[in-house]
Amino acid sequence: MLLNRHLKGFTLIELIVVILIIGILSTVLFTILRGPMIQFVQVEQRANLVDIAETALLRMTREIRLALPNSVRISGSTAIEFLRTVDGGRYRNLTHPGGAAAPCGSIAANRLSFTSATDCFEVLGTLQNFANIDATGSAGNRTDCRDNVVDCLVIFNTNQTNADAYDLDNVASITSIAANSVTFDNSSDVPTFRFPFRSPNQRFQIVDTPVSFVCNGGTIRRLAQYRILSAQPTAVPGDFTGVTENNLLVNMINACTFTYDPGTATRAGLVTLDITVRDNNLGQEVTLLQQAHVDNQP
């Protein structure tokens, strides 16, 4: 049998050379692509951290914008507290000349008086969110307001002496509410109660609860539905009396700074939230800053 002299193949040396060339090309290709691949993974990791931080900041700023004027206070740049408003409007300051409805029993009673004890006023406009009320008119109503049993009516909060809602200077417990009137009662606490100061723009606010965001132990927690206290509580949850909402907002917090500029008569207050989120397992961190304007005109 004759062998085909034209039959050819690879020698062992040729095969080894090809394998070496492929290995060299693979190494070069891996070296070229490794940097972009690592960067892609890192960008994705950082994007996840940004999403975590941004979600927390948006939740915080959305609620901070509901703060009662001049109720924002900061402790140690790591805890922010405010009184959350659920509704508000303008009260009738002058007696209607006549021919009007009398939601408070008479046209004369529709106005909110600051010189005599009153417990009802007509709302100029309509309310949208009806408050949590004390429909029974039970004793200790301002205490009920302080203890978060009922919602609080607040007028002209400036955070100054005799006009500080945290000291209950200018608050009353709501006993009845309708679209066009508010009835309140502090008679069991101060029989001749009158709101100490008028609002220049006849404004009133309805507050349902204090809210705190506390940065502590690598987390930010949201606390609400607790007693209104003169001194700002900061511990989690030890200083919060009667707290029923204690929710984790974000973890992996590496640093945080909260600041508040109360503003001026012509400029709203400004809350600044600066947080750093870090994933120690990945060695990645991001820092985000968010600002929120808050009304400071009572």
pLDDT in tens, 48-65: 999 999 999 999 999 999
Whether residue 171 contacts residue 151, with contact meaning beta carbons closer than 8 Å, is answered with no
DSSP assigned state of 140: -
Q: What number is the average pLDDT over the span 139-155?
A: 82
Whether residue 197 contacts residue 170, with contact meaning beta carbons closer than 8 Å, is answered with yes
Q: Which helix (H) or strand (E) holds 163?
A: none
- At 32, the pLDDT band (50, 70, 90 cuts) reads confident
Opening angle at CA 255, ends 251 and 260, nearest 5: 105
Q: Which helix (H) or strand (E) holds 279?
A: strand 269-279
The pLDDT, as a whole number, for residue 132 is: 64
Tokens read off for 95? 């007696």
Residue 232 has pLDDT above 60, yes or no: yes
3-class SS string, 208-276:
EEEEEEEEECCEEEEEECCCCCCCCCCCCCCCCCCCCEEEEEECCEEEEEEEEECCECCECEEEEEEEE
Cβ neighbours around 72 below 10 Å, total: 23
Q: What's the pTM?
A: 0.84
The pLDDT, as a whole number, for residue 47 is: 86
Question: What number of residues does the chain have?
Answer: 298
Whose tokens are 């502590």? That residue is: 216
Residue 138 has pLDDT above 70, yes or no: no
Q: What does the alpha-carbon distance between residue 142 and residue 171 come to, in Å, rounded to a whole number?
A: 7
pLDDT in tens, 91-121: 998 887 766 778 888 888 888 888 777 788 9
3-class SS string, 34-91:
HHHHHHHHHHHHHHHHHHHHHHHHHHHHHHHCCECCCCCEEECCCEEEEEEEEEEEEE
Q: What does the alpha-carbon distance between residue 259 and residue 77 come to, in Å, rounded to a whole number?
A: 6
Residue 190 has pLDDT above 90, yes or no: no
The whole-chain average pLDDT of the chain stands at: 85
Q: Which residue has the higher pLDDT, 288 or 95?
A: 288
DSSP assigned state of 105: S
Residue 243 has pLDDT above 80, yes or no: yes
Whether residue 64 contacts residue 220, with contact meaning beta carbons closer than 8 Å, is answered with no
Q: How far is CA 28 from CA 23, 33, 36, in A?
A: 9, 9, 14
Residue 90 has pLDDT above 70, yes or no: yes
Q: Which residue has the higher pLDDT, 248 or 105?
A: 248
Q: Which residues pair with 122 in a beta bridge?
A: 181
Q: Which helix (H) or strand (E) holds 29?
A: helix 12-64
